[in-house]
Amino acid sequence: MDYTVTIDALPTLSFGRKVAIVTNPKVAGLHLAYVMARIQAKELYVITVPDGESYKTLSTIETILENCFEHRLDRKSLLIGLGGGVIGDMTGFAASLFQRGIDFVQIPTTLLAQVDASVGGKTGINNRFGKNLIGAFHQPKAVYIDPSFLTTLPAREYQAGIAEIIKMAVTFDSAFFAWLEKANLRDKSDIAYAIEQSVRIKARVVAMDEKEQGIRAALNYGHTFGHVIEHEAGYGHYLHGEAVAIGMVMANALAVRLGLMQAQEAARVEKLLKHYDLPTHFAIADVEHFYDLFFMDKKSANDAITFILPKGIGDVALRNDIPKVDVVAVLAAQGA
């Protein structure tokens, strides 16, 4: 993967080709003028799509593509995703499909997108069967992470981004986790360092396993449970990072039950999540129904669910042999 990640104020970018910025009205109102002032292109277009996870659909992708054709973009043109994870995933997916693949660049504006979604080339959309079930692997040519965007981010979205930072630390870096326990991620220089560490971890894992045939799946820690929680609560109820926070606590409970993680380590993770006001509990009305929904999740293969379970803090196991009885016991312990 030959893309660059820049963590700094957005530099002036010169493209000798047609460029279209894909964004939504909310982000456009906050940041579009700032970004457009820094982009030079042969022709520059803006494609606006509705804001929110509920619009992360094939229908919105069609709208983006229609705009690309209307503007007569060609195989040498470039798309820029300006926004959060939803915008980034859809911009990358549209870029992968347009004339069988054109270049794209990510300018993530949310903390979650800056620390996780913008790096790694996973693109896609949701459908009625679940999240990100249709998509492509398509790497951005460059990712520009400008921390100044975070000043306008609502507190709740900011916290949701912190969940993914904690995820990176629990799965791959115990020293980073220990640092997080002492840091103040609402501080400007601490969050810049945390973004840098998260992107470093993410990029290293993706470089080892771009197509997620092995270790990259570890980044789905909290997501196996989290995706089902998002589905059950209804898309939009929880922010992605919030659902992942609950999912991490559930995965930890399973890891503790199986003897992979000490209860005290699970407690440290939960304490850190709570410190940033993240939810850590989801009442499950129907445990069997919840369990069934794992099988529509894309991390399952040949009817075995792969659980990502911490082996303490800073290491992780991928296990597809967990007996249903153990999973159900953990789900039941959540209460209805």
Closest distance between a second copy and the C-beta of residue 299, in Å?
8
Structure tokens at 315: 């290491």
DSSP 8-state secondary structure symbol assigned to residue 274 = H
Q: Report the candidate in 88, 69, 85, 120 with the shortest Cα–Cα distance to residue 22.
A: 88
Alpha-helix runs per DSSP H in 99-211:
111-112, 155-172, 174-182, 188-208
The reply to whether 214 sits near a second copy by the rule CB under 8 A is: no
- Is residue 67 flagged as an active site residue? no
The reply to whether 290 sits near a second copy by the rule CB under 8 A is: no
Element (H, E) at 289: helix 287-293
Name the phi and psi angles at 40, rounded to 5: -115, 125
Longest dimension (CA), the chain: 60
| Binding pattern for the stretch 162-201 against a second copy, x by CB under 8 A and - elsewhere | ----------------------------------------
Which one-letter amino acid corresponds to residue 7? I
Residue in 157, 212, 230, 270 annotated catalytic: 212
The reply to whether 318 sits near a second copy by the rule CB under 8 A is: no
- Is residue 164 flagged as an active site residue? yes
The reply to whether 96 sits near a second copy by the rule CB under 8 A is: yes
Which one-letter amino acid corresponds to residue 135? G
- Is residue 212 flagged as an active site residue? yes
Which one-letter amino acid corresponds to residue 214? G
Q: Considering beta carbons, is residue 256 or 308 the nearer one to a second copy?
A: 308
- Is residue 202 flagged as an active site residue? yes
Closest distance between a second copy and the C-beta of residue 88, in Å?
15
Q: Report the candidate in 49, 46, 72, 51 with the shortest Cα–Cα distance to residue 61.
A: 49
Find the binder of a second copy among 37, 69, 148, 155 (CB under 8 A).
69
Q: Considering beta carbons, is residue 186 or 324 the nearer one to a second copy?
A: 324
- Is residue 216 flagged as an active site residue? yes
Q: Report the candidate in 238, 161, 159, 168 with the shortest Cα–Cα distance to residue 199.
A: 168
Question: Could you tell me how many residues of this chain bind a second copy (CB under 8 A)?
Answer: 36
46: β partners: 21
Find the binder of a second copy among 101, 154, 214, 236 (CB under 8 A).
101
The reply to whether 29 sits near a second copy by the rule CB under 8 A is: no
Name the phi and psi angles at 82, rounded to 5: -115, 105
Structure tokens at 1: 């993967």
The reply to whether 74 sits near a second copy by the rule CB under 8 A is: yes
Stretch that binds a second copy, among 125-133, 201-209, 272-280, 316-324 (CB under 8 A): 125-133
Side-chain-side CA neighbours of 39 within 13 Å: the count stands at 25
Planar angle of CA 166, 218, 169, nearest 5 degrees: 25
Closest distance between a second copy and the C-beta of residue 262, in Å?
33
Find the binder of a second copy among 98, 104, 172, 276 (CB under 8 A).
98
The reply to whether 48 sits near a second copy by the rule CB under 8 A is: no
CA dihedral 296, 255, 159, 35 (to 10 degrees): -60
The reply to whether 15 sits near a second copy by the rule CB under 8 A is: no
Alpha-carbon distance of 336 to 331, in angstroms, equals: 9
Q: Which residues bind a second copy (CB under 8 A)?
A: 17-18, 42, 58, 62, 65, 69, 72, 74-76, 96-101, 122-124, 127, 129, 132-137, 211, 295-296, 298, 300-303
Active site residues: 100, 122, 164, 202, 212, 216, 220, 223, 227, 240
